[in-house]
Structure 1
Amino acid sequence: MADSHAVDPTEQSLWRPLRLLQASMDADIARSYSERQIDGLKPSFVMELLRLHARGPLTIAELAESVHRTHSALSQKVAAMRTAGWVETVVGDDARTRKVTLTDKARRVVGRLAAEWRATEGALADLEAEIPYPLSQVVADIERALEHKSFHERIAEKLTEDPAWS
């Protein structure tokens, strides 16, 4: 039974607002699709759909590498996109390989998806111009700091200070 006086560490989160902001912005992107009757499309599918359009059919491993995701994560995403009717798998160069390709449904909207991608990037550039310290600069600065000491190392140091971890 939970202690009614226990401190809930999840009440504090420095980056939760960032995740919530991104979710809100993704919802606005999804709203754009809905307004154009592009139903059942998740914003998280668009990069892979555009990549397949630009490069042609790819194996899951090739697609995963091209979007910097793990094979496992991409395999799950491809399954979801297949269920939603955006992609299908076809026999590859030899009978042992399968390639992911766009369906006719995806090919009909891919031009609009590219337009949305460009519009979103333009809107992000406008937002970054309005704020004193652009998020893209924050990311670059964090990456540089992590080159000196990894996030894992930073967490490990904090854990050695917490008696509950012992």
Structure 2
Amino acid sequence: MPDRPPGPELLGTRLRHLLDLLDGDVAAVYADLGLPGFRPRFTPIVRALASDGPASIRALARATGVTHSAASQTVAQLAKEDLVTLTPGADARQRIVHLTPKAEALLPVLDAEWAATTAAARRFEAELPYPLSRLVDEALAALGRRSMRQRIADVAPGLPAARDRSGDDGRLG
């Protein structure tokens, strides 16, 4: 097997590995702080609720830059950990998410961790030739304009994806 770095064909795999490294270390910091069940994906939702007050899952998805499905899954995990409660919204399909007293008690520790993680992320990006956060923003925008599925169909019109574009989600690898 040739000894060369992986190319774009393994982009999804490599991005998942990068995310595993980043999230794994942040999760280890939470464990060091005495919060072993707290996951990195909880923080943006908790911070949005602490900052703006109770919100619908749709509003939380917008505020944190994730899909409604991802926000809903995270809220369900937060509820399991007794960090949020849900109440009915104005319409039967809407649920309003509230922080619990348990979550509110964690805010000083989470704020300190957030500040430290933000500073560490800035230092990490300073080591790179191009800020990773900016590159991610640009990649998301490019996939918003044209999904990966559509891009594959463009270069391989004979593949089933080119004939049936339903369910297009733009995921990589």
Quickly name the TM-score band, shorter chain normalised: 0.7 to 0.9
- Specify whether residues 69 and 143 from structure 1 end up closer, same or farther in structure 2 by C-alpha distance, changes over 3 A only: closer
Distance 1:69 1:165 in 2: 27
Name 2:154's counterpart in structure 1.
Answer: 157
Residue 21 of structure 2 corresponds to residue 32 of structure 1: no
Which one-letter code corresponds to 2:80 in the other structure?
T
Name 1:64's counterpart in structure 2.
Answer: 61
- The alignment's TM-score, normalised by the length of structure 2, stands at 0.73
Distance 2:20 2:135 in 1: 19
Query: 1:133-144, aligned counterparts within 5 Å?
Result: 133-142=130-139
Q: What are the ranges of 5 or more consecutive residues in structure 1 without an aligned counterpart?
A: 1-11
How many residues of Structure 1 are paired with residues of Structure 2 in the alignment? 154
**SS at 1:41 equivalent:** coil
**SS at 1:14 equivalent:** helix
Residue from 10, 15, 19 that aligns with 1:13: 10
Query: 1:36-51, aligned counterparts within 5 Å?
Result: 36-51=33-48
- Specify whether residues 137 and 74 from structure 1 end up closer, same or farther in structure 2 by C-alpha distance, changes over 3 A only: closer
Distance 2:146 2:91 in 1: 46
Whichever of the two has the greater Rg, that structure is 1
Name 2:71's counterpart in structure 1.
Answer: 74
Q: CA deviation at 1:165?
A: 7.3
Which one-letter code corresponds to 2:112 in the other structure?
A
Equivalent residues of 2:153, 2:159 under 8 A apart? no
RMSD: 3.0
The one-character-per-residue Cα deviations of 1:55-98 (angstroms, maximum 9, x if unpaired) are 11112222222223333332222111101111112355x69564
The percentage of counterpart residues that share the same residue type is 37
**SS at 1:85 equivalent:** coil
Higher-RCO chain (CA-CA 8 Å, sequence separation at least 6): 2
